[in-house]
Structure 1
C-alpha cells in the first residue's frame, strides 16, 4: 500500500499565525514553495496560506503585507492527512475539497506536504485525469 508519507515532500515548514504576510512571502521564496501551513500558539494546524492568497486577498485589496498576519488569511477548516493514509484517501480528500496542497501529519506534527504533482507522479494516468477533474471542477 502506498501511503501519504511515501508520496509527500518531507520537511515542510510551519509559519506561526502571528507572522506577517511579508515574512510568509519571503519564506515561500526562500523555500521555493507556493504554500505554507499556518500554526497556532500550540503548533497545531490552523490553516494554510498560498502565494496567491497573499496577492489576491492582501496586496490587491490594498492591505499592507508587512502588517497583515497569516491569521488574517488562514480561514476555514484546515484539511490535512495522516502520514499512514492510503494514497487513495489522499486523492479523495484533495478531490472532494478541491485542494491542491495537503499537509501531512504524523503524531500531531507536520512531516510533509503533498501537492497535486506528487499525486500525479504516483497514480496511473487514468486516475490522474479523474483526480484533476475533481480538483479543478467548479
Structure 2
C-alpha cells in the first residue's frame, strides 16, 4: 500500500496567506491547474483550505467580490489533515467520511503537500470501494 509521502514526492502545493484575495488564489489555482490552496495564518501554520467548491459556493453564489474578499473569510477552516506516513486508503476513507476531495499533509506543524481523489490509482480506489460496500452490507 502506498504511503502518502510517495504521492507528494515532487509536489509544490499552493500555499497562501489568509489575507490574500480570492481573486489571487483563483488565478494561482488556474495557472498551476490546482484544485486547492492551503491557507496559512500569521505564524505560517495551516489554518484552512480553499477549493474550487469554496469559490463557487462561498464567493460566486453569495455575490461576493473576488478581489475584495480574503481567503480567511471563505476558506474551510481547520481542515482535517493526515501524516505523510499514512496510507492511500487512510486518505480515501477520510475523504469519503468527510465528504471532501482534498486533504492537506502536515508533519510537526509543517505543510508538506495535499492529496486529492484524483491522486489515487485504480487498485487503491477499488479496495476502498470494496471496503465501503462491505460496510454498507453490514448495516
Give TM-score, length-normalised by structure 2.
Answer: 0.82
Query: Larger relative contact order (C-alpha < 8 A, sep ≥ 6)?
Result: 1
1:99 paired with 2:100, answer yes
User: Cα deviations across residues 36-75 of structure 1 (Å, max 9, x unaligned)?
Assistant: 1111111111111112311221122221110000001124
What does residue range 65-104 of structure 1 map to in structure 2 within 5 Å?
65-104=66-105
Aligned-pair Cα RMSD in Å: 2.4
Distance 1:129 1:113, change over 3 A: farther
Gap runs ≥5 in structure 2: none
Instruction: Map 1:1-138 to 2 at 5 A.
Output: 1-8=1-8, 10-121=11-122, 123=124, 125-128=126-129
Runs of 4 or more off by more than 6 Å in structure 1? none
Aligned pair count reads 133
3-state SS of 2:26 partner: helix
CA distance in structure 2 between the partners assigned to 1:126 and 1:105 by the alignment: 25
Q: Contact 1:7–1:122 at 8 Å: present in 2 too?
A: no
Equivalent pair of 1:120/1:128 in contact (CA under 8 Å): no
Structure 1 residue ranges without an equivalent (≥5): none
